[in-house]
Structure 1
Amino acid sequence: MNKIDKSASFPSPLNRADIPFPDWSYKHIFRHGQCDPAGIVYTPEFFNVFNHAIEAWFCECLNLSYYDFLGPRRTGLGYVNAHADFFSPVQMGEEVEYFIRVCKIGGKSYTLELNAMLGETEALRGLFTTVTTNLDTHSSIDIPTDLRGALNQYVFSDTT
């Protein structure tokens, strides 16, 4: 039988004051159809809204059209890893505010952290690693120069 390593560090929720880039956010109110019979948001709905926030962040913060990457530029922005840590339930009618920061930029991929705040406390945290690809060949490509430059503005590393 495997035992849980109690010395392992588990994430803990952030407070609003700890958000590294507080000047932009994406807000979403969860509706009836996004919740189970008890009124708690279905887990997959969070991933859908995480993606909505990323699309809005591209257009509004990075000043790059997410849709041009996928359309005319034929550059895929697919997730190779998508993860979430849940700290508290979110219920029907509650507004969640999403903040985004860049954790890491590699040659062909980058990682985003999304902090989903319910009031003053983080309700959940998403971590998404995106690989840039050529949508015609489905092979990975270097992160386009304009995207790399825009992402660099939102890199944050916690040195505490």
Structure 2
Amino acid sequence: MRFTMPQKVKFKHCDPAGIVFYPRYFEMINDCVEAFFDEGLEVPFEEVHRNGGVPTAEISVQFTAPSRHGDRLELSLTPTRLGRSSLGIRTEATCDGERRFVATSTLVLIDGQGKSTPWPDHLRAKLRGWIQQAAA
């Protein structure tokens, strides 16, 4: 099972050559993570950040084709592994079936002092459900 989010490529995403400037993809990935928490897990991201946060601890991206102003991307997020306080995710962007990038990353739940902290039971259960459905 994967979470999907549409993303139209806007002028603000593009460099003077008219293609997405690669740091903007990282913003899109983070927007997808935030939407996943809000819509997929039904836990508002701002609630998670009230007394801590979920920073990206590691990310690797393979860019496979350029995206241009006006393209309509589909970002797909799949949780891949769940640790005590970490979450592995895979995010892929496609446009009309053509892959534009694929990213793997690790998020870490932290407390208000910036230290890793275990996922709360209700959130762990929801994340585990997504991972189990993705593996099925």
TM-score (norm 2): 0.91
Matches of 2:117 and 2:52, distance apart in 1: 9
Larger helix proportion of the pair: 2
- Contact 2:52 2:114 (C-alpha < 8 Å) held by counterparts: no
Q: Give the aligned partner of residue 109 of structure 1.
A: 86
Q: Give the aligned partner of residue 144 of structure 1.
A: 120
Q: 2:111 aligns with which of 134, 137, 158?
A: 134
Give 5+ residue unaligned stretches, structure 2: none
Q: Deviations over 1:116-144 (max 9, x none)?
A: 11111221112120111112x21111112
Q: 1:41 aligns with which of 2, 20, 23?
A: 20
Q: Give the aligned partner of residue 70 of structure 1.
A: 49
Give 5+ residue unaligned stretches, structure 1: 1-19
State the one-letter code of the partner of 1:144.
Answer: P
State the one-letter code of the partner of 1:67.
Answer: E
Matches of 1:154 and 1:115, distance apart in 2: 16
Q: Does residue 1:119 correspond to 2:69, yes or no? A: no
State the one-letter code of the partner of 2:34.
Answer: E
Deviation, structure 1 residue 157: 4.2
